[in-house]
Chains A and B, each alone.
Chain A
Amino acid sequence: MKFLEEKIFKMVMIGAAVIIMGVLIYILGTIFYKGLPSLTWEMISRIPGGGFYLGKEGGVLNAITGSVFIITGALIFSLLISVPLVMYINFYLPPKSILSGIIRFSLDILFGVPSIVYGAFGFALMVFIGIRASLLGGIITVAMLIMPIMMRSLDEIARLLPRDLPDALLSLGSTKYEMTKVLLRQLMPGLMTAILLAIGRGIGDAATVLFTAGYTDNIPTSLNQPAATLPLSIFFQLGSPVEEVQNRAYASAIILTVIILILSFSARYFSSKFLKNKS
């Protein structure tokens, strides 16, 4: 009987692993099968020409640059807010403080807010401060979306830091700021993971940028120009009745996936390089 239990449970676990792998392979297989033939150098290196969405020549460089600009801006923006906040609730406030509890609870709620709500809120905010759909609007909204993700994952790791290290630093006569700088080094791998999660989530999200970044066939050259994004570009190309354009959507999906992979690997590379001197 026990043997049977063991066997069934093992089957369930293996089955779960197979399903996950299968889904991934199916998704990647589909986009590569449909997209690879359309993935030409022209797709990457050119902006849409006239009639691009009806099957004429051009590429999605507008969306590539737009997406990269937006996620870079949003990352910088949200790092500037997330890092101080996490440092504050973990290293400045006492461990059982009520304030840090409230902040963590708020983050939990923000974490669960759907991206379309951020999009709508971002849009309302932009109307309020008087900017139109633009690169800046997209950056602000995507930053709002990825901030809770970043804070939560950084916070999880900061909470796991052993108390010995802050104590050792303080007993050497460090100020809290000097202590925090060293602790941040220790948190670097955690920060990298947080950034990766945030990139993955932010760059692929369509709902946040739908109202706030707008869409354009050109490469944005300033913060108040509208910017195209890859998810929206994919959406528009898929909506075309022309089959060739639909296949280009899959090619764009490959580009998006590869961008995420490049960012992931480079973040891992830099964090491991950084950690060489650590452990």
Chain B
Amino acid sequence: MIIANQHIETMTVNPVRGTDRISTLKKVEYNNTIRVENLDVFIEDQQILKDINLSIPEKSITCIIGPSGCGKTTFLKTLNRMHDETPEVKIKGKVYVDDLNIYDKNVNVIDTRKKMGLLAQRPCPLPMSIFDNVAYGPRIHGIKKRKAINQTVIQYLQYVGLWDEVRGRVRSSASRLSIGQQQRLCLARGLAIEPEYILGDEATSALDPLSTKKIEELFIKLKEKYTIILVTHTLRQARRIADYIVFMYLGKIIESGPTEEFFNSPKKQLTREYLSGSFS
């Protein structure tokens, strides 16, 4: 336990919750945010995440960085309970979303996932038309009226800048779009379920530089309304768009803090080594 505590960065102590082990990125109001307490994740007998304590500030971009296999994606998946689908994964600890522990027995997994828009590494359009891809979420969540759905679809396609590109062919198959367009479509599809949070799992790693730029610009636009958590392994991207950085290594949070501070004056030796490219 003592060893586990050593690396935890306590930037703001949270007196309300009575624990001083939460690494809080900034002073946050505890109503509209994600807070992780003592999170351990095991896959079979292997411990993937070790004692994660973290608060994520709302309406900002938090980038999780770290070398491959450090548990970034596993962490992201704990936030929308995607581990539910794999019984080998055991989760201990608490994840508060909007002050509700999503691993409580009486929390509905659908409600939790509805709050999180996930953008995967590779875009995965549903086997249907462009229109139906965006309309899918609203439809399964109970919107029946044609007019309302049309409006939603157009609104989010416009939001991600895809509307002008696909205007005449929204009824054609989504898999005909370029991969960059597909990723923006997936973002629109995620936004259409009206989430509060956006999770990105290396969302630009399969894209060309121009598409990457478009997605990054969208993230910056989106943070006015949403809390965004991105996993990335490109440091430059994190530096470009993140407000806060969380650095993970071998399943632990090594250091976290505002972007400028993190890159300009890292506190831990391991962070300095990672930033200088000694390991990746």
Contact = CB atoms under 8 A, between A and B. Distances in A.
Interface stretch (B63-71, B108-116, B216-224, B259-267): B108-116
Interface string B76-111: 000010100111100000000000000000000011
A164 B82 contact: no
Nearest to B171: A277
Given A168-B186, A277-B129, A173 B124 contact: no
Interface in A246-279: 276-279
A100 to B, nearest CB: 13
A266 to B, nearest CB: 22
B173 interface: yes
A21 interface: no
Contacts of A164: 120, 122, 124
Interface in A150-194: 162, 164-175, 178, 182, 185-186
A66 B157 CA distance: 54
Contacts of B88: 94, 96
Interface in A168-223: 168-175, 178, 182, 185-186
A45 to B, nearest CB: 43
B120 A173 contact: no
Contact of B113 (A162, A165, A171, A279): A171
Contact of B173 (A165, A167, A174, A278): A278
Interface string A86-98: 0000000011100
A182 B189 contact: no
B82 A185 contact: no
Secondary structure dominating the interface of B: mixed
Given A94-B85, A278-B173, A169 B113 contact: no
Contacts of B128: 182, 185, 277-278
Interface in B123-158: 124, 126-129, 136-137, 140-141
Residue among B110, B116, B193 with the highest chain A CB neighbour number at 10 A: B110
A168 B126 contact: yes
Interface residues of B, number: 31
Contacts of A175: 110, 140
Contacts of B120: 164, 167-168, 171
15 contacts: A94-B85, A95-B86, A96-B88, A164-B124, A167-B85, A168-B126, A172-B136, A172-B137, A172-B193, A173-B193, A185-B128, A277-B129, A277-B173, A278-B128, A278-B175
B127 A186 contact: yes
B124 A172 contact: no
B137 A168 contact: no
B113 A170 contact: yes
B140 A172 contact: yes
Interface of A: 94-96, 162, 164-175, 178, 182, 185-186, 276-279
B82 A172 contact: no
A54 B129 CA distance: 60
Interface in B170-195: 171-173, 175, 186, 189-190, 193
Residue among A96, A170, A173 with the highest chain B CB neighbour number at 10 A: A173
Given A171-B80, A172-B137, A173-B193, A165 B126 contact: yes
B126 A167 contact: no
B118 interface: yes
Nearest to B186: A168
Contact of B140 (A95, A168, A174): A174
A182 B126 contact: yes
B148 to A, nearest CB: 18
B89 to A, nearest CB: 10
Residue among B87, B116, B122, B124 with the highest chain A CB neighbour number at 10 A: B124
Contacts of A186: 127
B85 A279 contact: no
A164 B175 CA distance: 14
Contacts of B127: 165, 182, 185-186, 278-279
A94 B86 contact: yes
A246 to B, nearest CB: 51
A173 B175 contact: no
Residue among A165, A172, A174 with the highest chain B CB neighbour number at 10 A: A172
Given A165-B127, A172-B137, 16 more contacts: A164-B124, A168-B126, A168-B186, A170-B85, A171-B80, A171-B82, A171-B116, A172-B189, A173-B110, A174-B140, A182-B128, A185-B127, A277-B172, A278-B175, A279-B173, A279-B175
